[in-house]
């Protein structure tokens, strides 16, 4: 029961870490208490995108006439839509099982607890406890839906993302509290399927981490699609004693009461740091997350932490990158630190939102003199052919050296386009180099080149 590397948790942090460790020749084990693939594959990234795809297809069917086709009225059975999403998640989880076998990684099912002396105890479903020893123990136990004291989740009327992904029947109305990526994606899905959705956001803008212009545009688009949005508003209390939910919402104009069948709390996540032995081993935490250095070493040698359990961006691709960096460093390779300023963020509502780097406000606050270029998708031939002209691309360059400081996009398909900006920024590409990189026609990606050209007064199509 001795391993070089023991990974606790099999989310995109844990399973990717285990594969990279095995590739590097380490004898590796991964411990999982629920389903291989973690939140991302089972209750996060993947099943939400499956639901959003069903909603998009439904939308297209109902808008067949916009494409010169005969009018059709789409219809669906809600449980089948949920079932498809669960099927996609299960298929992906099975894929991880295959990858573990392929890479000769031992999968240990059970609940792990770290112990002193680089030991891990695992309690299986029958309550049997087995002890394992590892030269390096990597904790990747992830996170869960955050519960606010005034918004306790009962799993039925006040729910978190797990229930929102597996409701037995479609609610007629829903209040979504929080308008980060998770809240907005669910709001878009349920609204498209016909639920009356109201989003309540504490901050002045929805998707508050995004560039202000993008947030404002998304708010307009979502309102147009029928979602009610309240910003600068907070849910003070909920009453579930009646048929549905009554939420008291504090607004600038005083308190109002919203009523709905269901309230989805999407106010962030809480890291799974409890009952995993951190205190016993002496691993330090702060504000509910495990403290690590730039190589993901905790305060106790031999123990590491990556992914949602540490205070970096809570994204699947960040968790994976941290795990790879961590094991490559353990191997003694020459490793680059992760540049947390060049992490793309995507929201898969319609229109989609994608961004990387500084917002306009952040660039100005940092003292940059900037050049900003914008290109509307209404001027893109491909977007027009697609019938998806809502949105724009915004790029921000440093006026002095041409450094690409930020890229902010809203529109159909932009989540697949943002990687261009990530790679270009990694390679320290300048604005002019983007303009001179010939983009294929017709693609929506041309809008990036055009936005860059707009920043330098060279735009062609507007
Ligand atoms: C609804 C939703 C949508 C999302 N969409 C996106 C998206 O589109 N893109 C994106 O990048 N991110 C998205 N995320 C975030 C993403 O899912 C997380 O950032 C990612 O899953 C974190 O990976 P992780 O490996 O740190 O932890 P997790 O994926 O949370 O995995 C942790 C694993 O550890 C296991 N575990 C916990 N404790 C123990 C224990 N004691 N013993 C054994 N096993 C244990 C858990 O069962 C779990 O399987 C979304 C999240 C949600 C909730």
Identify which of 38, 51, 96, 415 to mutate to test ligand 1's pocket (most ligand atoms within 8 A of the CB).
Answer: 38
Written as one string, the DSSP assignment of 273-290 is -TTSSHHHHT--EETTEE
For residue 308, the ligand 1 atom closest to its alpha carbon is: 26
Phi, psi of 202 (to 5 degrees): -70, -35
CB 247 within 8 A of CB 237: yes
Measured at the CA of 312, the angle between CA 311 and CA 313, to 5 degrees, comes to 130
303-305/370-376 β-pairing:
unpaired
Q: How many CB atoms lie within 10 A of CB 308?
A: 31
Helix (H, G, I), strand (E, B) or coil at 354: strand
| Cα gap 319→128, rounded to integer Å | 30
pLDDT tens track of the chain, all 462 residues? 799 999 999 999 999 999 999 999 999 999 999 999 999 999 999 999 999 999 999 999 999 999 999 999 999 999 999 999 999 999 999 999 999 999 999 999 999 999 999 999 999 999 999 999 999 999 999 999 999 999 999 999 999 999 999 999 999 999 999 999 999 999 999 999 999 999 999 999 999 999 999 999 999 999 999 999 999 999 999 999 999 999 999 999 999 999 999 999 999 999 999 999 999 999 999 999 999 999 999 999 999 999 999 999 999 999 999 999 999 999 999 999 999 999 999 999 999 999 999 999 999 999 999 999 999 999 999 999 999 999 999 999 999 999 999 999 999 999 999 999 999 999 999 999 999 999 999 999 999 999 999 999 999 999
Q: Exposed, middle or buried by CB within 10 Å (0-12, 13-18, 19+), for 132?
A: buried
* Alpha carbon nearest to ligand 1 atom 12, residue: 315
Structure-block tokens of residue 289? 């997350």
| Cα gap 306→140, rounded to integer Å | 5
Those residues with Cβ within 8 angstroms of residue 102's Cβ, 6 or more apart along the chain or in another chain = none
User: How confident is the model at residue 66, as a pLDDT?
Assistant: 97
* Alpha carbon nearest to ligand 1 atom 17, residue: 40
Ramachandran region of residue 264, left (φ > 0), alpha (ψ -120 to 50) or beta? beta
CB 289 within 8 A of CB 309: yes
| Cα gap 447→354, rounded to integer Å | 14
Phi, psi of 207 (to 5 degrees): 30, 65
User: How confident is the model at residue 121, as a pLDDT?
Assistant: 98
Written as one string, the DSSP assignment of 43-82 is HSHHHHHHHHHHHHHHHHHHTGGGGTPPP------HHHHH
Structure-block tokens of residue 52? 């959003």
Residue with tokens 């829903």: 174
DSSP state of 382: H
Cα→Cα distances 117→133, 282, 303, 364, 461, Å: 8, 12, 10, 49, 65
Q: 273-287 b/e with 16+ CB inside 10 Å = b?
A: beebbbeebebebee
The crossing angle, in degrees rounded to 10, of helices 212-224 and 181-193 is 20
- The closest alpha carbon to 382, from 393, 371, 373, 372, belongs to 393
CB 174 within 8 A of CB 260: yes
How much helix, strand and coil, in percent to the nearest 5, is found in the chain? 35, 25, 40
Handedness of CA 411, 404, 12, 153 (dihedral sign): negative
Q: How many CB atoms lie within 10 A of CB 332?
A: 8
Residue with tokens 């540049």: 339
- The closest alpha carbon to 19, from 9, 31, 28, 8, belongs to 28
Give ligand 1 pocket residues (Cβ under 6 A).
Answer: 8-14, 31-34, 38-40, 44-45, 48, 111-112, 140-143, 161, 182, 272, 276, 307-308, 314-317, 319
Catalogue all structural domains in the chain, each as residue range(s) with its CATH number: 2-145+270-340 (3.50.50.60), 158-267 (3.50.50.60), 351-455 (3.30.390.30)
Phi, psi of 78 (to 5 degrees): -55, -45
User: How confident is the model at residue 1, as a pLDDT?
Assistant: 77
458 known member of a binding site: no
User: How confident is the model at residue 268, as a pLDDT?
Assistant: 95
CB 40 within 8 A of CB 92: no
Strand order across the 158-159 sheet: 158-159, 262-265, 173-177, 196-200, 228-230
Structure-block tokens of residue 353? 């939102």
| Cα gap 30→111, rounded to integer Å | 11
404-410/392-398 β-pairing:
antiparallel
Q: Which residues are catalytic?
A: 441
* Alpha carbon nearest to ligand 1 atom 1, residue: 44
Q: What is the Å distance from ligand 1's center to 295 Cα?
A: 20
Per DSSP, what are the bridge partners of residue 123? 111, 129
Q: What is the Å distance from ligand 1's center to 142 Cα?
A: 5
Residue with tokens 């990530």: 422
Helices assigned H by DSSP within 298-438: 316-331, 360-365, 381-386, 418-426, 431-435
Q: What is the Å distance from ligand 1's center to 73 Cα?
A: 37
Identify which of 316, 340, 414 to mutate to test ligand 1's pocket (most ligand atoms within 8 A of the CB).
Answer: 316
């Amino acid at each position: 029961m001795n391993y070089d590397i023991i990974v606790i948790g099999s989310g995109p942090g844990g399973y990717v870490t285990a594969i990279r460790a095995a590739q590097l020749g380490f004898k590796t084990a991964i411990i999982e208490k629920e389903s291989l693939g973690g939140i991302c594959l089972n209750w996060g990234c993947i099943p939400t995108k499956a639901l959003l795809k069903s909603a998009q297809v439904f939308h297209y069917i109902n808008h067949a006439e916009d494409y010169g086709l005969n009018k059709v009225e789409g219809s669906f059975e809600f449980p089948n839509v949920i079932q498809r999403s669960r099927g996609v998640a299960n298929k992906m989880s099975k894929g991880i099982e295959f990858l573990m076998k392929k890479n000769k990684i031992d999968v240990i099912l059970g609940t792990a607890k770290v112990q002193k002396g680089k030991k891990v105890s695992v309690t299986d479903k029958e309550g049997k406890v087995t002890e394992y020893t590892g030269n390096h123990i990597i904790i990747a136990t992830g996170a869960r839906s955050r519960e606010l004291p005034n918004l306790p989740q009962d799993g039925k009327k006040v729910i978190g993302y797990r229930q929102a992904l597996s409701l037995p029947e479609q609610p007629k109305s829903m209040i979504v509290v929080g308008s980060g990526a998770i809240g907005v994606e669910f709001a878009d899905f349920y609204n498209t399927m016909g639920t009356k959705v109201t989003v309540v956001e504490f901050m002045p803008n929805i998707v508050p981490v995004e560039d202000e212009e993008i947030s404002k545009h998304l708010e307009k688009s979502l309102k147009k699609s029928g979602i009610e949005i309240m910003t600068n508003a907070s849910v003070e209390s909920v009453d579930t004693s009646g048929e549905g939910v009554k939420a008291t919402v504090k607004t600038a104009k005083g308190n109002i009461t919203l009523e709905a069948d269901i309230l989805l709390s999407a106010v962030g996540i809480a890291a799974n740091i409890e009952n995993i032995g951190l205190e016993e081993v002496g691993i330090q935490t702060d504000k509910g997350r495990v403290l690590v250095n730039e190589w993901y070493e905790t305060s106790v040698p031999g123990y590491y932490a990556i992914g949602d359990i540490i205070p970096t961006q809570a994204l699947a691709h960040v968790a994976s990158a941290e795990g790879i960096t961590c094991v490559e460093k353990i191997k003694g390779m020459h490793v680059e630190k992760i540049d947390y300023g060049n992490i793309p963020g995507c929201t898969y509502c319609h229109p989609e939102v994608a961004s990387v780097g500084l917002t306009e406000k952040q660039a100005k606050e940092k003292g940059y003199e900037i050049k900003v270029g914008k290109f509307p998708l209404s001027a893109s031939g491909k977007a027009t052919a697609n019938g998806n002209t809502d949105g724009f691309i915004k790029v921000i360059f440093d006026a002095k050296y041409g450094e690409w400081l930020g890229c902010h996009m809203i529109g159909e398909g932009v989540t697949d386009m943002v990687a261009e900006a990530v790679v270009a920024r990694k390679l320290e590409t300048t604005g002019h180099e983007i303009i001179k990189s010939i983009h294929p026609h017709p693609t929506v990606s041309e809008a990036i080149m055009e936005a860059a050209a707009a920043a330098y007064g060279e735009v062609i199509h507007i």
